[in-house]
């Protein structure tokens, strides 16, 4: 589903309490070439980061809702674009993110094993820690 040329005509608050929607920078021009028009403004850094976080959730939902393999591929690409923008906006280096991923894989494994947790039974230590 390509929502990149849809706006927020109902004035819904889409990110950071703002009325509007974070769109790719080429979308206003694409819309204009099709006879439409966006009213836009440039966000400050804090609002931009908040909107990226909201956009990440939106795009992740679109991956979940996609009904075709091609649709999931497109939406996963959108998720990665938002993640890349968020990495940059947060001032992280891609190498830092990769190292964090490697550490997590070493300490917790990956998802390749297809492990589904069906129940969690806490030890007394875990219960005590949880109650603190």
pLDDT tens column, 71-108? 999 999 999 999 999 999 999 999 999 999 999 999 99
User: Can you tell me the distance from the alpha carbon of 31 to that of 34, in angstroms, rounded to the nearest whole number?
Assistant: 5
DSSP run (H or E) holding 18: strand 18-19
Residue 12 pLDDT > 60: no
Q: Which pLDDT value is given to residue 49? A: 96
| Domains delineated in the chain | 13-131 (1.10.287)
- Token pair, residue 43, equals 């966000």
Average pLDDT score, the chain:
87
* Strand partners of residue 15: 18
In contact, 54 and 14? CB cutoff 8 Å:
yes
- The pLDDT, as a whole number, for residue 2 is 42
């Amino acid at each position: 589903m390509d929502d990149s040329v849809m706006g927020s005509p109902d004035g819904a608050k889409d990110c950071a309490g703002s009325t509007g929607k974070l769109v790719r920078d080429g979308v206003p021009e694409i819309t204009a070439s099709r006879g439409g028009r966006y009213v836009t403004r440039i966000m400050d850094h804090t609002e931009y980061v908040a909107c990226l976080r909201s956009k990440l959730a939106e795009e992740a939902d679109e991956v979940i809702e996609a009904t075709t393999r091609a649709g999931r591929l497109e939406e996963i690409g959108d998720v990665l674009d938002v993640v890349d923008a968020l990495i940059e906006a947060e001032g992280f280096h891609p190498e830092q993110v990769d190292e964090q991923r490697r550490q997590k894989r070493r300490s917790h494994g990956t998802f390749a094993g297809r492990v589904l947790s069906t129940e969690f039974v806490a030890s007394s230590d875990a219960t005590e820690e949880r109650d603190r």
